[in-house]
Amino acid sequence: MGSLVRFEERVVVGNVINEVVAIGKSREYGLVVVGKGRMPSAMVAQLAVHPAEHPELGPIGDALASSGHGVTSSVLVVQQHDMSNADEVPVSVIVDGHAHDGEFPKDMVEP
C-alpha cells in the first residue's frame, strides 16, 4: 500500500490563526509544519488578545497544540537560529503555566 506525500505552502492574508486551525482540523494532513519566528507587529498585536496555552510554541504553534480546537494532525514547530544574534538568545521561563520572557519571577532562584 503506497503513501502519499504532498508539500503545500500557503500564503495567508487575514486571520492566520483561523486558517492554520482549519488546516489542522481538516484531517487532510498527518503533519503540519509551522515556523516560529518574527511576525509583523500588527499581527503580534492581533494575536496578543488570546492567552497562550503553550507560549513556547509561538502563537501559531500554540493555536494548533491548544486543547479545544479539535486539531488531529501532528504539529512540528521549527525556529531558525540566527548566529549573528547568538548573544541575544531570548529566554522563556514557564512557571505554573505562565510564560515569563527574559526574567525569572522574584520568588524563583536563577540557575
What is the model's pLDDT at position 8?
79
**Counting every residue, how long is the chain?**
111
> Per-residue confidence at 56, pLDDT binned at 50, 70, 90?
confident
> Per-residue confidence at 101, pLDDT binned at 50, 70, 90?
low
Q: What is the pLDDT of residues 16-48, one digit of tens each?
A: 778 888 888 888 888 888 776 665 556 656 666
Residue position matching grid coordinates 504539529: 75
Q: Can you read off the three cell numbers belonging to residue 27? A: 484531517
Strand partners, 94: 99
Question: Which element (helix H / strand E) includes 65?
Answer: helix 58-65
Q: How many Å apart are CA 59 and CA 38, to the nearest integer?
A: 11
Q: How many Å apart are CA 23 and CA 14, to the nearest integer?
A: 15
